[in-house]
Structure 1
Amino acid sequence: MMVIIIISMVIIGTMAYGISLSEKGYRGPMSRHFDGRKFLNPNGIKGTGFWNVLKWSFTRKKGVWKADYTDYAPKGKILDAHDHEVRILFVNHSTFLIQMNGINILIDPVWSKRASPLSWAGPKRLRQPGIHFNSLPKIDLVLLTHNHYDHLDIETLKVIDKVHSPEYIVPLGVDKILERLNILNVRQLDWHQHAIFGKIKITATPAIHFSGRGMLDRDNTLWCGFIINGLKSLYIVGDTAYDDQLFKDIRNKYSSIDISIIPIGAYKPKWFMSPIHTDPNEAVRIHQDIGSNESIACHFGTFQLADEGLDDVPQDLNKALGSSGVSPQSFILPKEGEFYIY
């Protein structure tokens, strides 16, 4: 009897905590991808549900990962952005420093040790960030693609706002999370809406994914990618599944893309991950569908979010590039702490 009571208390406590993590959602007019309460994917496919999560948790076959805490960060303060080139630095996972048209931009900044609401549990950082936080230049703008813990890290955002006071551009509803943190310099965008910041234009683009930080807030905020138009046209694809029409439509609507940042990790097992993430083969197809001149991989090698091994990702990417005829120089696997200059 005591065992049953203890198990019941653990279950109730876990559910209560999950409910407490749920965030307020977007409220606004209905659209083709918003039914008044929940956001919908362009292809109508929903992300994996609770019972599939449960099935996966009991049948997981994790690949091998090995922590590497080597410090790859450049020494000293990073110089400010200037007008005559685009500089892209891979921090790791999906975090990038973009320097374009005199503007310093952070994408999905995460410096915490875990992609989790808890400091002692959840996916642990297995590689050091490619920039020391104190080495960052003055950050002007932060772009957040969605509200998952490996993309929207509250502790990092608190420090960024205190030190840099940037502007934030987010998909619909994500502003409520920042509001709760007293971060108010926020613009929210729907798919295909844009904002002007200095000499650049930022457009939110559709993606096939989902949102949620707790048990009761599934899909009540939007997810997106971003196209940044300035000295170059840069497409941040964001977390997404593959769709054989979506990225061709984006190419038709937004024409020339100079550089893309495309996710390649968290794809095994395929039956579970394919509705929400791309594998390396699908990432290369996105590169081809949008006609990107060059692409940079992301969403790999930092947090073990799925079952592929650490070495599976570069091996699978190399196979995908070889079979598709895309040059490895056109779709690179970036290194932490290195600038890619265009």
Structure 2
Amino acid sequence: MIFPLSLNPGPLYKWGAVVMALVLGGCSSMPVYDSPQFEEETMTFQNPNGVRNDKSFGDLMGLAYNYMTRADDPYEKSGFPLITSTRAELATLAEEVLWVGHSTVIVSHGGQTIMTDPVFADRASPFSFAGPKRVTPVPFKLADLPPIDVVVISHSHYDHLDKAAVQELSRRQPELVFVVPLGLKAVLNDWGVSNVRELDWWQNTEVDGMRLTATPVQHWSSRSMSDRNETLWAGWMAEWQDFKFYFAGDTGYSRDFVETRARLGAPDLAAIPIGAYDPRDFMRASHVNPEEAVQILKDVGATKAVPIHWGTYKLTLEPMNEPPQRLRRALEEARLEGQDFIILKHGERVSIQD
């Protein structure tokens, strides 16, 4: 029997644990944060609009049953088209965006490279034997990556924060800067990663002229049953003098995207999630659907966007090929001018200057 790791409505990647593992993480010593997002009474972070992601145990068990008895999805076996790259090919990355898979994106601009949520794991789970399995392989070896200047992390969930990948990146490149939301610096430090900068929403830091700002999104965090919302979640805006890249992280729809544009301006490029949204009543607070992703594109004002968070792990109940299909229909209905999504294959790279 597979059980959820936490009593909340987060994505189903939390369901890769046997019941004995529910206590993993143990009791933590929770610091008090001087942050508008931190609620001292509960010692947890909160969404800015007060939206909470609580569900009953019965609701979760019903969803778990539906997930485990779901209809066969052929893409769970076949995966999606993949473009592989060699070390030599990756070394030529310049003024391009490359979608590795799920929420892992690499953007190269002005001689600098930023990577989002590096996840190379075979399972989005704390376990090697259970949990959502990667259906579309990683397009290259982590060891073949060119030098990375910055890694941004959106939050602590297993399909966004891969301990082994983070440790390997840090080991290979000790000068690499990791920029994370409040609470995650201690986690990475415990993993032996020391070059970490921790930010609250709207705080920023600079790395060799690249300014990184943490932005609010509607989500939650957890890596065990005992640490729900003890670390913050965030989107990220990376700004150069002549280019802006926005990473929406993992999020439900909210007015945060309008505020992000008002404060930081419209990005040239955005990475916006489109998958893991059904059943809708369960996932609405945590994950946008393709139609809401188009609204985010409009809200932030990006010229172009790359859809992420689909086709890599089977996390929820919608068919795995549905998100890009619905996205295309939503774009046709929206009739946007000067804005578009570029639907990439896993491992595909395109110019950010076109």
- TM-score between the two structures when normalised by the length of structure 2: 0.86
Residue 252 of structure 1, aligned match among 255, 258, 262: 262
Instruction: Check whether the contact 1:301–1:310 (CA below 8 A) recurs between aligned residues.
Output: yes
Deviations 1:257-281 (A, max 9, x none): 1111100000011011111000000
CA change 1:104–1:255 in 2 (3 A) is closer
- Structure 2 unaligned segments of length 5 or more: list them: 1-16
Q: Do structure 1's residue 53 and structure 2's residue 43 form an aligned pair?
A: no
Q: Do structure 1's residue 304 and structure 2's residue 311 form an aligned pair?
A: no
Secondary structure in 2 aligned to 1:238? coil
Listed as ranges, the matches of 1:32-111 within 5 Å are 32-36=36-40, 37-51=43-57, 52-60=59-67, 61-62=70-71, 64-66=73-75, 67-68=77-78, 72-77=83-88, 78-79=90-91, 86-111=95-120
CA change 1:71–1:341 in 2 (3 A) is closer
Instruction: Check whether the contact 1:201–1:228 (CA below 8 A) recurs between aligned residues.
Output: yes
Instruction: Check whether the contact 2:303–2:339 (CA below 8 A) recurs between aligned residues.
Output: no
Identity %: 33
Residue 185 of structure 1, aligned match among 178, 190, 195: 195
What is the CA–CA distance in structure 2 between the aligned matches of 1:129 and 1:296, rounded to whole Å? 18
Deviations 1:177-208 (A, max 9, x none): 11111111100000000010002100000010
CA change 1:94–1:22 in 2 (3 A) is farther
Question: Which stretch shifts more, 176-185 or 301-310?
Answer: 176-185
Secondary structure in 2 aligned to 1:159? helix
| Code of the aligned partner of 1:45 | V
- TM-score between the two structures when normalised by the length of structure 1: 0.89
Residue 155 of structure 1, aligned match among 152, 161, 164: 164
Residue 142 of structure 1, aligned match among 151, 161, 172: 151
Residue 31 of structure 2, aligned match among 23, 27, 32: 27
| Code of the aligned partner of 1:74 | S
What is the CA–CA distance in structure 1 between the aligned matches of 2:145 and 2:321, rounded to whole Å? 30
Kindly tell me the number of residue pairs found equivalent between the two proteins: 326
| Code of the aligned partner of 2:25 | L
Deviations 1:142-162 (A, max 9, x none): 111100000101111121111
Deviations 1:118-167 (A, max 9, x none): 00110100001133323210122211110000010111112111112211
Q: Do structure 1's residue 237 and structure 2's residue 248 form an aligned pair?
A: yes
Listed as ranges, the matches of 1:191-270 within 5 Å are 191-230=201-240, 231-243=242-254, 245-270=255-280
Instruction: Check whether the contact 2:303–2:338 (CA below 8 A) recurs between aligned residues.
Output: no
Q: What is the root-mean-square deviation of aligned Cα atoms in Å? A: 2.1
